[in-house]
Structure 1
């Protein structure tokens, strides 16, 4: 039996730092010596190779150009490796992982994102467990074929669909959650995979890597007292192609005439307006209440139960595909990579 071959991609972040115990200063971890530093990896039933960004970055500096770099690394190594593990800072991990889920169309192998809250050299670090189990998850096979065929995020004993995740805690080891979709797998005494929840791609189709992302979008979180002048300044920007409204509850908003008129004028100009809930769990149901029915009437697109991270990345992806305006709503409201219910 041939062992699965896993490519470890280091982009930066806390997981790649190790403390100099003489000075107390954090320094970059040399992933070329990974097996020497973490001998437990030799117990895994897979081979591991590593690649790193030339200049690893803090995840706060992550942007779509780096997303393309990650996608290109996977693309150029796709036929050589059975799975990929991406090491990434936790702050923007859900954004990057969500973006990759849309960029990698017809993905038939696992791409597992992970990171840590503490550096890999700390006594109480979560980095080793996250790293070891992520590699193990990426190497799971049945009849020499990958069990997982989607972009995932692993953190603190749980494997999630990447485009369903959001970071909820800056201090707890349990930093991420997937509140609208069950975990794909759980790590305990045994690895328990929830096969019914795994994404089922069309294996007859070849991988397509999308590298054009359009960032001419805005994100507006509604709040009581939001001003007409502020919204007008944002929505009349001539470079704006789409805007995401984070509304209340199940997609509700103010029914004041100035607000609805401004949204209608924006849509008339060809700018797409997306409605997602600012709640961390639940779904937009436009028309369920009077305070959302007007949005439905004027043509606002429903984001259903998308996370903010997935909504932003899906929007950049679809705008980058130059989809015709009349097709945009249907495409956005359709689940493409299991990102919405």
Structure 2
């Protein structure tokens, strides 16, 4: 009888990592995850007990929606007590969105949920899939000296780097190093050993229970500014039927045009109850609307700062808060503070 040292649940949703090439037809087919240890004998050296669940049907990550996030949360809830960690194989295109969503939907998480994937199918000779998968498994199983998980949060492991899920974004469609975390340090790096930065990893409250949430509302639009944007376009976006929140991608540290019609359009939208969250178009940096007069105009119009959050995390957080039917005032308060490590704590000068 094998003495397993960790129980890991592997969930394959779809994506490049789980495909193998048929030697006869050349077509890509789904890898048999039911025989994972047979195809990856390296896993047997860890003495993990691995259970696998494959989405039926598997989904391209471009088709991912809150319906699939709820399904993932349900699978994790049903298997939470019997497993030490979870590895989710996911297409790379929307992985950061899914990781962000689960970070809010699973409150006070006390076990690792590691998203990973690949740029080449697992059946390809030069694939990055095996290294990503094997290391993600090890991270999901790692415990500290007193038996607690080393990484009790939702994260992404890709090409040697462990990143907080809701701080990550896909930055490269061609290279193996596909993800980055611009505004938060990496949680760990794999080499000969996996080296974790314990000071950067979230610490749950082990005195409280984990809570699973399923309410999400996707009535949100992303509004990216560009030079020459006209009044008709702005008003069409801000008056779109059913929209409850707008993620406004501004320039630099949160700046936008000071056209009178533009500011008035924002003010009117806010008065109607629309929530407008300001995030920067820059890869690195933070929204500081008090820094320049253009930003202060947005503050006076009622726009809320998104600070240094990614667009993926901002979208997922708004979906979560809107889904729980918080009032506009309550949502604004919660958008200003980190719920799952998704942003740097707000600057009190903006309150």
Structure 2 length normalisation: TM-score?
Answer: 0.96
Task: Specify the alignment match of 1:30 in structure 2.
Answer: 32
The offset of 1:330, in angstroms, is 1.2
1:3-152 map, 5 Å: 3-142=5-144, 143-152=146-155
Let me know the Cα RMSD of the aligned residues.
1.0
CA distance in 2, matches of 1:315, 1:78: 26
Q: 2:226 maps to which residue?
A: 223
Partners of 2:299 and 2:267 lie apart in 1 by 11
Q: CA offset at residue 204 of structure 1? A: 1.3
Mean CA deviation greater in 10-19 or 231-240:
231-240
Aligned to 2:168: 165
Deviant stretches of 4+, over 2 Å: none
Alignment-derived partner of residue 203 in structure 2: 200
Partner of 1:282: 285
Q: Distance in 1 between matches of 2:53 and 2:232?
A: 48
Equivalent residue, structure 2, for 1:246 = 249
SS of 1:145's partner is coil
- Give the match for residue 347 of structure 2: none
Rounded Cα–Cα distance in structure 2 between residues aligned with 1:44 and 1:256: 61
Q: Displacement of 1:179 after TM fit? A: 0.6
Is the CA contact 2:4–2:49 (under 8 Å) kept in the aligned structure 1? no
Q: Say which SS state the counterpart of residue 199 (structure 2) adopts.
A: helix
> 1:2 deviation in Å?
5.8
Instruction: Work out whether residues 118 and 129 of structure 2, in 8 Å CA contact, stay in contact via their aligned partners in 1.
Output: yes
Cα shift at 1:207: 1.3
The answer to whether structure 1 residue 306 and structure 2 residue 335 are counterparts is no
1:323 aligns with 2:326: yes
State how far apart, in whole Å, the 2-side matches of 1:190 and 1:216 are.
Answer: 44
Q: Structure 2: 5+ residue runs without aligned partners?
A: 345-351
CA distance in 2, matches of 1:203, 1:333: 25
Secondary structure at the counterpart of residue 240 of structure 1: coil
Report deviation, 1:210: 1.1
Q: What is the number of equivalent residue pairs in this alignment? A: 341
Separation in structure 2 between the aligned mates of residue 187 and residue 22 of structure 1, nearest angstrom: 36
Is residue 210 from structure 1 mapped to residue 213 from structure 2 by the alignment? yes
Tell me, yes or no, if the aligned pair for 2:11 and 2:54 is still in contact at 8 Å. yes
Give the deviation of 1:234 after TM superposition: 1.6
- Alignment partner, residue 349 of structure 2: none
User: Structure 1 CA distance, aligned partners of 2:16 and 2:196?
Assistant: 27
- Match of 2:50, SS state, is strand
